Amino acid sequence: MITKSKVGRYDFVAEPFHTDFTGRLSLGVLGNHMLNSAGFHSSERGFGISFLQANNYTWVLSRFALELNEMPADGEAFCIETWVENAYRLFTDRNFAVLSQDGQRALGYARSVWAMIDLRTRKPVDLLGVNNGNIVDYAAPEKSCPIEKPGRIKVVATEPARTIETFYSDVDINGHVNSMKYIEHIMDLFSKDFLSAKRIARFEIAYVAESYWGDHLSFFCDELPDDEYAVEIRKHVSPENPVGEVVCRSKLIFCNK
Amino acid sequence: MITKSKVGRYDFVAEPFHTDFTGRLSLGVLGNHMLNSAGFHSSERGFGISFLQANNYTWVLSRFALELNEMPADGEAFCIETWVENAYRLFTDRNFAVLSQDGQRALGYARSVWAMIDLRTRKPVDLLGVNNGNIVDYAAPEKSCPIEKPGRIKVVATEPARTIETFYSDVDINGHVNSMKYIEHIMDLFSKDFLSAKRIARFEIAYVAESYWGDHLSFFCDELPDDEYAVEIRKHVSPENPVGEVVCRSKLIFCNK
């Protein structure tokens, strides 16, 4: 019996210290609120932290794509709706809507793809085999998410635009660089002049491998036509190993404000 | 007539993506929650964003000192109490208690010193001259805050331990490096081994001058006896100007876990 709504809705306020120099919520913070909403929603349905810890499992974010008409402004109340679109053996699609406080106006939508990993074997768990496969009972494929799915991202640059070292504040409880920290570092590639004139219309990221405290991350960046950028983050890039190892790939499409 | 309680109490939960590799809330996030609590409390009493914007004023954090028995753990609910201890012409002392959810157990205490600045002149505002001087009616000097006031911090190191460039994600809506971002960068000076064995017992920071997007920040660090560290952040340090300009000074006292 399903007693919980298939769609969770969670309230947020754009806090003063979470807004950027333009007075809008920063992308990494919005992403963090979405991850928290996903966490609340899945916990309420028996796929949260206590289920995961009891089984030594963890959710792993594989892909994330977001389209925005407008970023919440400093002090603005808004809500995030989230729901499972589909669940398969190895992946589940979870969607998001960012709405005005009254739920009437869509600020944006997002799609994400998740796997569940067994921490002992690092192998994916069969999602249809846990909790009697009831994840599919929570799916709401009929609810509309009017943005394209995450696509393939290709980067051809051979010289990094920047290389950074990772520290304490980059890593999460698992010791991995926090998935939203990559987004902060990617946004940090853009200049003040550029970000004064443009805003994010679509942002996409595909997580390929984990990185850790002390890893050097190199950012390879293609500037494409129409304010589009493709970024590949690689670790362990050195003169002896100029290719390194891909950590994640991201695509950003900007538009005029 | 005072209808509002002199002490504000605000509820928080240590979110999964706000905890560090040890599973405890990170210091910068706790500081951010305190600043938000201060913002809620002062707004409720007529000294918030709408009052400030109408007058072209802003609150500026001058000093902050925190002592912790224990940092909230991943998923833990806690609350922050905040109150004005005293108000003078140019400064006001605001204190904080970090308490367990039921308010019965003290996780830590903090003290802060604030000035109000006129954004047109960059000069301090006479706090006793605004809102009919009613800030003093909100003061609760009788409420105990059992930690020492922020003291004088002196750093003698002549070579920076690290120099970083500041980017998009460092700055706030005023274009200044966010006061909590300095704390993140200071924590990033410490190694994983050190932070695995030790925890913050007392943290103190004095803000001296603003820094901006693109500024290079150099971290001068004295290692003192008894797991004590003093850090001075300076901008504009160069071979021609090895002293640069002081942005802030911080003192950290660690203890064994």
The string of pLDDT tens digits covering residues A56-72 is 999 999 999 999 999 99
Q: Please give the single-letter amino acid code of residue A81.
A: E
Judging contacts by C-beta atoms under 8 Å, the chain A residues touching residue B39 are 16
pLDDT digits (tens, 9 = 90+) for B198-236: 999 999 999 999 999 999 999 999 999 999 999 999 999
Which residue type does A198 have? K
The number of CA neighbours under 13 Å toward the Cβ of A107 is 21
CA B182 to chain centre: 9
Cα–Cα distance for residue pair A141/A84, rounded to 1 Å: 7
Q: Do B36 and A16 touch (CB under 8 A)?
A: yes
Look at residue B4 in the predicted model and tell me its pLDDT: 61
Instruction: Quote the CA–CA distance of B45 and B140 in Å, as a whole number.
Output: 14
Cβ separation of A17 and B49 shorter than 8 Å?
no
Give the pLDDT score at A209.
Answer: 96
Check pLDDT > 80 for residue A93: yes
Residues of chain B under the 50 pLDDT cut: 1-3
- Give the model's confidence band at A4: pLDDT under 50 very low, under 70 low, under 90 confident, else very high: low
Q: pLDDT of B41-76, one tens digit each?
A: 999 888 887 888 899 999 999 999 999 999 999 999
pLDDT for res A3: 47
Query: Per residue in B152-170, is it b (16+ CB within 10 Å) or e — as a string?
Result: ebebeeeebeeebebbbbb
- A40 has pLDDT over 50: yes
Alpha helix (H) residue ranges in B73-208: 179-187, 192-197
Six-digit token pair at A237?
Answer: 């890039």
Facing residue for B173 by CB, picked from A21, A28, A169: A21
pTM exceeds 0.80 for this model: yes
Nearest to A169 among B167, B172, B184 (CB): B184
Per-residue pLDDT, A35:
95
B12, B15, B17, best to mutate vs chain A, most A CBs in 10 Å: B17
Find the mean pLDDT for residues A19-31. Answer: 96
Looking at residue A51, its pLDDT comes to 87
Percent residues over pLDDT 70 in chain A:
98
The answer to whether residues A235 and A245 touch, using CB atoms and an 8 Å cutoff, is yes
Nearest-5° Cα angle at B171, A60 to B173: 105
